[in-house]
Amino acid sequence: MKNLILFFTLILLFACSPQPEPIDYGNDICDFCKMNITDNKYAAEIVTSKGKIYKFDSIECLFQFKNLEIKNPDEIHSELVNDFSNPGELIDLRKAFFLKSEVFRSPMGMNVLSVASEEKLNEIKLKDGGEVLSYSEVNKLALEQ
């Protein structure tokens, strides 16, 4: 009986866990700049601990919004960004690999793309050039915009 109660408690905990939501390209509006989110290679999303979802048309909008609107970092459950190599697929922003290149034109002009693996990053860099950035470097660059 105790195992059954524990099992149902765990199910409830996981069922109530904040989850990301797919971005509806062409219809969703950026919560920072208020532009239509249309490019499935650069969009981003924040999910709060309470389940509130904020969507952005670019990574710099996410960082600028976070800097201005999120007072306590513990409010954030997850930060996600599109995987440039798999358009429309959201990946963990903290685990992403970043490349800045003028070859790629992001919606707000910072021109930073994110990918899920270092191998994919190196493949794109070898083909198109660019500068590899860390999470903190992307954050700093975004706040300078």
Q: What's the total number of domains in the chain?
A: 1
pLDDT in tens, 13-40: 445 678 889 999 999 999 999 999 999 9
Task: Order across the sheet with 97-100: list the strands.
Answer: 112-115, 97-100, 131-133
Write out pLDDT tens, residues 59-115: 999 999 999 999 898 999 999 999 999 999 999 999 999 999 999 999 999 999 999
Domain limits for position 87 = 2-144
Closest CA to 112 of 55, 43, 47: 43
**Local structure of 89: helix, strand or coil:** strand
Q: What is the CA radius of gyration of the chain?
A: 17
